[in-house]
Structure 1
Amino acid sequence: MDDLLLLVHRIPFPPNKGDKIRSYHLLRHLAARYRVHLGTFVDAPEDWQYVDQVRALCAGSHFAKLDPTLARLRSLGALLGGRALSADYYRDAGMRGWVERTMREHDIARVVVFSSPMAQYALPYTEARRVIDFCDVDSDKWRQYAQQKSWPMSWLYGREARTLLAYEREVARVCDSALFATEPEAQLFRELAPESDAKIGHFNNGVDTEYFSPARPYATPYAEGERAVVFTGAMDYWPNVDAVQWFAAEIFPRLLARLPDLRFYIVGARPTPAVQALGRQDGVTVTGTVPDVRPYLAHAAVSVAPLRVARGIQNKVLEAMAMALPVVVTPQALEGVQAEPGADLLLAEGAEDFAQAVLRVLGEDHGALRSRARERVERMYSWPSNLARIEARLECN
């Protein structure tokens, strides 16, 4: 096997945690074909327990501690230097030194970068074949944030959108291949970085359909007599926070007035104070971290993805579909998901439209919707076939 350097911004484990699913499967796929040397950051105390499991997949590894508070403070230096805050957030001398030694000692000719901030460690190695998985066009996410916020955050987010896009374009220009999680993301970047058009592609996420299987037995986490509407996701991620706040304020009260037994469950790690406050609202439960999200999906009546700001593919939508659970999504949450509205899931725009879509799901059996959702995921979201695209980019001459 040849040696390969893989750079990931957050430790790629556990394998079924929303923001780590893609990086975990990428690591596992590459480790079966190369001797992988992994450089990654650990930014949460609970994630140190996974180091040994990740190290076992690698020929070499470096796990750098990242304190989010200190990293945010350190990144402020980018304001004076005209750089993107996102890149400076992950700037680390120890990581840079480990990469330099690893490249030299193992004569590495292939480098895979996961997420644009990690590209800074690969840029000096022009002799290697470098492939970056941007996942999403993060600069456009900041642009959307700027539109949603008032000054001074609108100015700060707008600045980050501009500086990060310049950085993304430079990374794509010097790398051999630039990949995204969906074709719409890839097409957006082609428009933003036309000079790199020939290098830009995508590979879809996948779903472990054996793990996310409705055929397994799950003990219900809900109280007797409840009908649950569920939202899953990392609850310190601003688009998710905005989504559940909007649903709780504008949509759920309309539902509760019609169906007093209905409950809204917000399931996900690291809920912000704003999310925790929603738990004081009638009918709303905020779980925080749970050991397994599948029981919440298996016994829910409907999954909702009321995102108003979104980039790339929503794993929460795919996982619910894999569990044969009816899903109601906004247009933003649907973008990047290859599913047919009305057949595989329901699409709604605006609070009243969204409430009516949820009521339709709750008032009918929707057996066909459930089976079609599961079939769509099985057909379109296989990890091995999707990841073969990145392998092809690494091996082409």
Structure 2
Amino acid sequence: MGLAARARLSPGVEGEDYDLVHCNHFFLMPVARRLARDRAPILLDTHDLQARQFALINERMPWLRPRVSYEDMLAQEVEAMRGADLLLHLNALEAEEFRALLPQKRHALLYPPTPPAPTGPGGPDIVIVSSNNTANVESLIWFLREVVPRAPGVKVKIAGSVAEGVRARAGALYAAHRDWFLGRVEDPGAIYARARLALLPTVGGTGLSIKTVEAMSSGLPLIATPQALRGMDAEALSLPGVTVAESAEAFAAALIQAAAAPHPSDSTRASSAARAYYESRFSLAAYRTGLETLAEATLSAAF
């Protein structure tokens, strides 16, 4: 925030008269308030609770003592948000927390737009797409250790940089499944395009899972842990074609059953409940409609 407060803006930007300011992070609220001039309303994207994100980072670096406590960071974050007229929350769990922290403010849930994955042409693959972060690595290790031995004969393709993390954290486990790992891929969408089933064996992490949104957009049948659907509304837990497994045993049983099922057609994937859920909440069209509606309501209340 200090850098934003001292930022020099071009005369053309700072001299403009704005009706509405959309700020994409509380770090930039000093700039937003300068542009609003105590007249234009401010919409603020809250993202995840940033104080928590910094606290999690600090936990992974025990050799560096944080100079600021979680409570101090949270207080700074909340204070900056008081200057916004409407807080836009990007997932359902964080929306509840921010409403409790700032009950006097206006709040709205507006999921971020996520590019869709292809819904075909389909293929024989059972896939996991995942990047290399702590929660993803822990989740994949859990899947390989706890689920895979309970689903003999099933083979999975694992795409993404998560391979590097698994190799570093669980070398023997990585070596035992070396031929499953594709490593980094240029186009994750192509992985979904050639698949028949997507797996989301998530056991950690915070905020909305973008890889879950991408998998939903592909229209593939999904097997997911409840944690994979975090940040979404209750409907996500009961979508046809999405099997929610709360244990390794349940995940393995669902995997064996799904592996024996017929491959879904392009049309089945395009019209699936998961794809419809994605379109209604996470598509660019849904985001634009939601943002326009909220902006119009905020302008009407201000003027």
Q: Normalising by structure 2, what TM-score?
A: 0.76
Which residue number corresponds to residue 156 of structure 2? 263
Give the one of 9, 22, 29 matched to 1:112: 22
Which residue number corresponds to residue 361 of structure 1? 258
Contact 2:135 2:205 in 1 (8 A): yes
Q: Which amino acid aligns with 2:25?
A: S
Q: Distance in 1 between matches of 2:207 and 2:53?
A: 10
Mapping of residues 35-74 of structure 1, within 5 Å: none
Which residue number corresponds to residue 274 of structure 1? 165
Alignment of 1:131 with 2:37, yes or no, is no
Give the number of equivalent residue pairs.
Answer: 285
Give the one of 144, 148, 153 matched to 1:248: 144
RMSD across aligned C-alpha pairs, in angstroms?
Answer: 3.6
Residue deviations 1:219-270 (CA, integer Å, cap 9, x gap): x7xxxxx7433123x42x4333332333234333443xx115x0341325xx
Q: Distance in 1 between matches of 2:63 and 2:141?
A: 19
Give the one of 189, 192, 208 matched to 2:101: 192
Contact 1:134 1:178 in 2 (8 A): yes
User: Per-residue deviation at 1:169?
Assistant: 0.8
Q: Name the SS for the 1:240 alignment partner.
A: helix
Residue deviations 1:263-293 (CA, integer Å, cap 9, x gap): 341325xx584245465442431422x3321
Residue deviations 1:129-155 (CA, integer Å, cap 9, x gap): 222111222334456677xx5883797
User: Per-residue deviation at 1:207?
Assistant: 4.8
Q: Name the SS for the 1:190 alignment partner.
A: helix
Contact 2:158 2:183 in 1 (8 A): yes
Contact 1:142 1:160 in 2 (8 A): no
Q: Normalising by structure 1, what TM-score?
A: 0.60
User: Per-residue deviation at 1:361?
Assistant: 2.0
Q: Which amino acid aligns with 1:287?
A: G
- My pick for the range that moved more, 347-356 or 176-185, is 347-356
Gaps of 5+ in 2: none
Q: Distance in 2 between matches of 1:265 and 1:251?
A: 14
Q: 1:145 to 1:284 in 2, by over 3 A?
A: farther
User: Per-residue deviation at 1:156?
Assistant: 4.4
Residue deviations 1:153-195 (CA, integer Å, cap 9, x gap): 79749x664333212211221111211113332112112333x
Give the one of 346, 366, 373 matched to 2:274: 373
Which residue number corresponds to residue 306 of structure 1? 201
Q: Distance in 2 between matches of 1:167 and 1:378?
A: 35
Residue deviations 1:74-116 (CA, integer Å, cap 9, x gap): xxxxxxxxxxxxx57xx479x81137x4543324453222133
- My pick for the range that moved more, 276-285 or 183-192, is 276-285
Q: 1:378 to 1:150 in 2, by over 3 A?
A: closer
Which residue number corresponds to residue 9 of structure 2? 98
Which residue number corresponds to residue 33 of structure 1? none
Compare relative contact order (CA 8 Å, sep 6+) and give the higher one, 1 or 2.
2
Which residue number corresponds to residue 74 of structure 2? 165
Alignment of 1:176 with 2:85, yes or no, is yes
Which residue number corresponds to residue 181 of structure 2? 285
Q: Name the SS for the 1:179 alignment partner.
A: strand
Q: 1:275 to 1:366 in 2, by over 3 A?
A: same
Alignment of 1:352 with 2:249, yes or no, is yes
Q: 1:155 to 1:254 in 2, by over 3 A?
A: farther
Gaps of 5+ in 1: 1-86, 221-225
Identity %: 23
Q: Distance in 1 between matches of 2:84 and 2:125?
A: 50
User: Per-residue deviation at 1:295?
Assistant: 1.6
Q: Which amino acid aligns with 1:190?
A: R
Q: Distance in 1 between matches of 2:139 and 2:293?
A: 32
Give the one of 283, 288, 291 matched to 1:384: 288
